[in-house]
Amino acid sequence: MPRPKTKKTAAPARGRSSKPSSRRAAKPARRQADAASTSTPEAAKAQPNQRIGVLIDADNVSHQHLPTLRRFIGETEISAARAYGDFNGRLSGWRAAAQDWPELDLVDQRSYTPGKNAADMRLTIDAVKLMAGPNPPTTLIFVTNDSDFTPVVEDAKRLGVRIIVMGERTHKALRSTAHHYLNLSELRERMDKELAAKSDPRIALGLLAQALRALTPKNKEIGALLDQFEKMLPELRFADAPRPPREPGPRREARPERAQREPRPAREPRAPREARPPQDNAGQDYRDRPNLTSAQQAQGKAEADQRRAQLQQRQDIIEALVDVATGLAPEGEWLKVEVIKKFLLQEHPGLEANAPRYAKFYRMLEDTGRFDVQLQGSTVMARLKG
């Protein structure tokens, strides 16, 4: 009888175990290449009477790009400028960088659940609030490399908001959804070149030569002239060029000799000057002046109490301060004192003309009784009391 056929099994490969591996080997992480800009800075900025909202994902964008972002925005009105992240850890460098941009608020958001990015969630929620507010921005700038913000960008576009995305390795999905995408490194390099061109005309002329070469790529005669022009550029002289010699003019006649003057009588000695009055310390708080004697402290406390009483009689100033702080942030949220002062002077010009004199603005906020004041690092912060 014929033998029944048996199913052959493949022999295990040499050097490998026939048992399935319980864990795959981790592949080395590959760094995503930088994404080139899809728009020019001129196209992204060309919007008259626009209001800009700036939302920064500080977790994956370096604070070193803040000067470039400020130069791009220029004098355009800013509805809100916020950066999101845990600024008590590895992002602590943002605090020092934000000192040069008073309008920028650092929204300190910690991740309480592992694997959940609370900063991204807070940024998305604030973007929706801005668009639903009474005075929404006409342009939103998302500074991020993360594709998780693609849905909120799509919703903003449907509401008619103009979207600009800035980053370096921004995901293709987010880049293609935005109206404009600018690579921050490219933007900084271009701005630096433009600034250098203003101080060195050779750079501007070199750019002009490149433009002419691009416009006439097949014209050999123009190409030869441009080659000659570019060779001459390093030798050109502008403000430091020597002036041509002047032709000699007619000789002037010699002046007649002056008669010798009689010696002046000796002046009477001046009376000694009176001692200068002491410097005006009005408005200074005794708590801000160390090394005072007990008598000086008592006098300073009396002056501070008098200023506080004068301020309490000016309810118009107190209401203006509360109104400005309420418009900048919800009740209970910390604000930079210098930001409150800036918007107070803008929205209520002339209000401080007859106000009590305060050398430190945060002392005025304290004396209203409506604000808590605290020092955070080198920055003085204030918030409305509940």
What is the pLDDT confidence band of residue 384, given thresholds at 50, 70 and 90?
Answer: confident
Output the average pLDDT for the chain: 78
Separation between Cα atoms, residue 62 and residue 147, nearest integer Å: 17
Q: How far, rounded to the nearest angstrom, does the alpha carbon of residue 329 sit from its chain's CA centroid?
A: 19
Question: By CB neighbour count within 10 A (0-12 exposed, 13-18 middle, 19+ buried), where does 70 fall?
Answer: middle
Q: Both tokens of residue 107?
A: 């929204």
pLDDT at 349: 76
pLDDT digits 0-9 by tens, 257-311: 666 666 767 776 666 655 544 445 667 777 777 778 888 888 888 888 888 888 8
pLDDT at 151: 92
Q: What is the pTM of this model?
A: 0.47
pLDDT at 156: 92
Output the CA–CA distances (angstroms, integers) from residue 353 to 13, 112, 217, 257, 305, in the order listed.
90, 48, 65, 62, 20
Separation between Cα atoms, residue 339 and residue 131, nearest integer Å: 23
Which residues, 6+ apart, have CB-to-CB distance to 185 below 8 Å? 34, 168
What would the mean pLDDT of 25-48 be, rounded to a whole number? 69
What is the pLDDT confidence band of residue 87, given thresholds at 50, 70 and 90?
Answer: confident
Half-sphere exposure of 282 (CA within 13 A, CB side): 5
Separation between Cα atoms, residue 55 and residue 108, nearest integer Å: 13
* Confidence check: pLDDT of 226 > 90: no
Nearest 5°: phi and psi at 123? -60, -45
Separation between Cα atoms, residue 79 and residue 181, nearest integer Å: 21
pLDDT digits 0-9 by tens, 146-176: 888 999 999 999 989 999 999 988 888 899 9
Q: Are 358 and 386 a contacting pair, CB within 8 Å?
A: no
What is the pLDDT confidence band of residue 244, given thresholds at 50, 70 and 90?
Answer: very low
What is the pLDDT confidence band of residue 56, given thresholds at 50, 70 and 90?
Answer: very high
Q: Are 152 and 123 a contacting pair, CB within 8 Å?
A: no
Output the CA–CA distances (angstroms, integers) from residue 238 to 8, 232, 243, 246, 329, in the order listed.
89, 13, 11, 19, 53
What would the mean pLDDT of 71-97 be, rounded to a whole number? 87
Domains and CATH numbers, the chain: 41-189 (3.40.50.1010), 200-234 (no CATH), 286-384 (1.10.10)
What is the pLDDT confidence band of residue 105, given thresholds at 50, 70 and 90?
Answer: very high
